[in-house]
Amino acid sequence: MVATDFDAERTYDDEKFSTREIYRSDRLKAVLGYFEPGQFIPVHAPDSDVVIDVESGRGLVRDGDDDRKVGPGDVVVVPAGESRGIHANQDERLEALLVTSPPPTDAEHEPVRVGLRRGEFDPD
């Protein structure tokens, strides 16, 4: 069993969002995501489903062509193959649980790396 909480794992990075992996298997990956104001996970479209459960803060989640405003208690599911990204509001931190199944490959995360290098939420 894995048991933890946001307080025990909390870590922030001034340069980019930070994550703490709390579980990984062949079928599933669970991370806690910590975003300073304005930080983001760039839009990408891996072949995995993702569940995003917002613990605190506000921001938006991209789901395909739609942007959804999110806040504490919101849960968003984005199906495999759909474009997705997370962007914290400019005025507050955002913390969320992200569960992906199956875990995305390193190659599927290349758009994330590109977007972070360029400072672009939507690197297309």
Q: What confidence tier does 124 reach under pLDDT thresholds 50, 70, 90? A: confident
User: In this predicted structure, what is the pLDDT of residue 10?
Assistant: 97
CATH among 2.30.40.10, 2.130.10.10, 2.60.120.10, 3.40.640.10 for 20-118: 2.60.120.10
User: In this predicted structure, what is the pLDDT of residue 120?
Assistant: 96
Nearest 5°: phi and psi at 62? -85, 130
User: In this predicted structure, what is the pLDDT of residue 42?
Assistant: 97
pLDDT, one tens digit per residue, over 82-115 is 999 999 999 999 999 999 999 999 999 999 999 9
User: In this predicted structure, what is the pLDDT of residue 50?
Assistant: 98
Q: Given strand 94-101, what is the order of strands in its sheet?
A: 18-24, 29-35, 94-101, 49-56, 75-78
User: In this predicted structure, what is the pLDDT of residue 123?
Assistant: 83
User: In this predicted structure, what is the pLDDT of residue 118?
Assistant: 95
CA-to-CA separations, 53 to 71, 73, 107, 111, 115, in angstroms, rounded? 9, 7, 25, 22, 23
Q: Domain map of the chain by residue range?
A: 20-118
pLDDT, one tens digit per residue, over 8-51 is 999 999 999 999 999 999 999 999 999 999 999 999 999 999 99
pTM of the model: 0.94
Q: How many residues does the chain have?
A: 124
User: In this predicted structure, what is the pLDDT of residue 31?
Assistant: 98
